[in-house]
Copies of this chain bind each other. A is one copy, B any other.
Amino acid sequence: MSKKLTSRAEDYSKWYNELVVKADLAENSAVRGCMVIKPYGFAIWEKMQAELDKMFKETGHQNAYFPLFVPKSLFEAEEKNAEGFAKECAVVTHYRLQNDPDKPGKLRVDPEARLEEELVVRPTSEAIIWNTYRNWIQSYRDLPILINQWANVVRWEMRTRLFLRTAEFLWQEGHTAHATKDEAIEETKLMNGVYAKFVENFMAIPVIQGVKTESERFAGAEDTYCIEALMQDGKALQAGTSHFLGQNFARAFDVKYATKEGKQDYVWATSWGVSTRLMGALIMTHSDDNGLVLPPNLAPYQVVIVPIYKNDEQFDAISKVAEEIISDLNDRGISVKFDKRDTLRPGAKFAQHELQGVPLRIAIGPKDLDNETVELARRDTLSKQTVILDRIAIVVEDLLEEIQENLFNKALDFRNQHITNVETFDEFKHVLETKGGFLSAHWDGTNETEEKIKELTKATIRCIPIDSKEEEGVCVYSGKPSKRRVLFAKAY
Contacts and interface: CB of A to CB of B under 8 A. Distances in A.
Interface of A: 27, 29-31, 34-39, 42-43, 46, 62-72, 74-76, 79, 82, 86-98, 105-107, 109, 118-121, 128, 131-132, 135, 141, 147, 151-152, 154, 156, 168, 170, 343
B119 A74 contact: no
Contact of A90 (B119, B128, B170): B119
Contact of A118 (B71, B109, B128, B131): B109
A429 to B, nearest CB: 35
Contacts of A30: 67, 71, 74, 128, 131-132
8 contacts: A30-B132, A31-B69, A36-B64, A68-B168, A72-B107, A75-B107, A88-B95, A89-B95
- The 9 A-B pairs at the shortest CB distance, nearest first, are namely A39-B62, A34-B67, A37-B65, A86-B97, A95-B156, A91-B94, A31-B67, A93-B93, A90-B92
Nearest to A148: B39
B105 A71 contact: no
Contact of A109 (B35, B91, B106): B91
Nearest to A116: B32
B89 A91 contact: no
Nearest to A157: B95
A431 B29 CA distance: 53
Contacts of A35: 67
B121 A121 contact: yes
Contacts of A147: 39
A87 B70 CA distance: 22
Contacts of A43: 62-63
A412 B62 CA distance: 34
B93 A65 contact: no
Contacts of A131: 30
Given A31-B119, A39-B64, A93-B109, 15 more contacts: A29-B67, A31-B69, A31-B128, A35-B67, A36-B67, A39-B62, A43-B63, A67-B168, A68-B152, A69-B168, A72-B107, A76-B106, A86-B98, A90-B119, A121-B121
Nearest to A96: B87
A170 B62 contact: no
A398 to B, nearest CB: 28
A75 B107 CA distance: 9
User: Which of A72, A87, A91, A168 counts the most chain B CB atoms within 10 A?
Assistant: A91
A140 to B, nearest CB: 10
Contacts of A82: 97, 107
A43 B62 CA distance: 8
Nearest to A79: B105
User: Which of A35, A64, A141, A343 counts the most chain B CB atoms within 10 A?
Assistant: A64
A173 to B, nearest CB: 14
A106 B66 CA distance: 24
A245 to B, nearest CB: 19
A69 B29 CA distance: 10
